[in-house]
Amino acid sequence: MDSIDKKRSNAPANRRLKEGVERRATMTDIAREVGCSQATVSFVLNNAPGIRLSDETRRRVFETARRIGYDVPSAARTVESGRPGRGQHIAFLVDQLSTSPEAVQAIEGLSQAAQAAGGLVFVAQSRGDEETERDLVEAFVRQGATAIVYMTIFTREVKLPKILQDIDIPVLLLNCYAVGQAVPAVVPSEIAGGQRATHHLISKGHQRIATITGEVWMEAAQDRLKGYRRALATADIPFDDDLVFAGDWSASAGYEATRKILDLPEVPTAIFCQNDRMAIGCYEALKEAGYQIPRDMSVVGYDDEEIARHLHPQLTTSVLPHRAMGQWIAEQLADGQVEARYPLTKLECPLVERASVEKPRS
């Protein structure tokens, strides 16, 4: 073979060598090798959320990318290795944002923990509208959300929106729980909170304790009342239905219920108001009737709102752990292994002792 023939026979190899030196591997090359679309390769290597792909497809894409020398993004390498990555984009969806401080506290707890790990939190309000929820979730997924937190203002069981059942990123519930506990959820331990508040009054020597409940259809009101009853039972104090007064969480309800309590033939020595706003009305009715707190009547609230520290005397109350629940959510995501099925987590409602409780007058 003469030199011309040698040059001709080596030409394809030379061209391939030249292409190998000058041209980098592309997603199209990976797709051709794996036998999938270029879009699928992009989804895998860019860790696109909300896309359901088999583990086998993901594995083949990564193996092929390494074999042909494709420069895999660092974020994708982190996902492949199973290590939690930095820079999570957490979507926070709540039904009502402005009706109470609880949502803001939960967002604060989640945001602080997420930002410490290099992540961001995006917040939206749905007002409980199904179409709005669907549109918001789709928008969050398109924008690259790595997890979605779904919160309700009132603690309750929820039917998980279908869009949240279909997406392929972690979904966690805050202040609510799904039917069958299908996804991780965290709520306040309301029964224990009501029991602890009532036990505190009992430990000070009170035996006749009235309580003003919230709206009875709400789980929080039901559970705080259960805690009240448990504390009485534990102390061998008979439950008296005449000492239970229905309220609606408002200061006006606390005021009206307290006036009824003071009209009882045997006035109790303590009142457990099942939220701080009703305790405000309770204070007003007591002072109007000439009662001094806590000398003549001890009062306990619930929620630990800002006003509790500014009442006179300062109100003994329980903390609703929404900030801690937000932090709990961040901790689950930081672990990188959010289970598809997870037991319901209940966080303690700590009692904050202030000046509104003392021993009853003999």
pLDDT per position as a tens digit, 229-239: 999 999 999 99
Three-state SS for 147-195 is EEEEEEEEEEEECCCHHHHHCCCCEEEEEEEEHHHCCCEEEECHHHHHH
Please report the pLDDT score of residue 70 as a whole number: 77
Q: Which fold has domain 190-321?
A: Rossmann fold (3.40.50)
Specify the pLDDT at position 339: 62
Q: What is the pLDDT of residue 264?
A: 98
Contact 104, 111 (CB under 8 A): no
Predicted confidence pLDDT, tens digits, the chain (362 residues): 444 443 444 443 333 333 444 457 788 888 888 888 877 887 787 766 556 677 788 888 888 887 887 776 645 544 454 444 456 899 999 999 877 788 999 999 999 888 887 889 999 999 989 999 999 999 999 888 999 999 999 999 999 888 998 888 999 999 999 987 778 999 999 999 999 999 999 999 999 999 999 999 999 999 999 999 999 999 999 999 999 999 999 999 999 999 999 999 999 999 999 999 999 999 999 999 999 999 999 999 999 999 999 999 999 999 999 999 999 999 888 866 676 556 799 999 999 999 999 999 87
Domain made up of 89-187+322-346: CATH architecture: 3-Layer(aba) Sandwich (3.40)
Alpha-carbon span 339 to 333, nearest angstrom: 10
Nearest CA to 279 out of 301, 261, 304, 250 is that of 301
Which residue in 211, 202, 191 sits closest to 236, CA to CA? 202
CATH class of 13-70: mainly alpha
Is 89-187+322-346 the same fold as 13-70? Answer: no
Q: What is the pLDDT of residues 85-114, one digit of tens each?
A: 456 899 999 999 877 788 999 999 999 888
Report the alpha-carbon distance of residue 184 to residue 172 in Å, rounded. Answer: 5
Q: Which two structure tokens, joined as six digits, stand for 119? A: 């992540």
Q: Which among 354, 301, 347, 355 is positioned nearest to 321, based on CA atoms? A: 347
User: Are the C-beta atoms of 91 and 71 separated by less than 8 Å?
Assistant: no
Please state the domain extents for the chain: 13-70, 89-187+322-346, 190-321
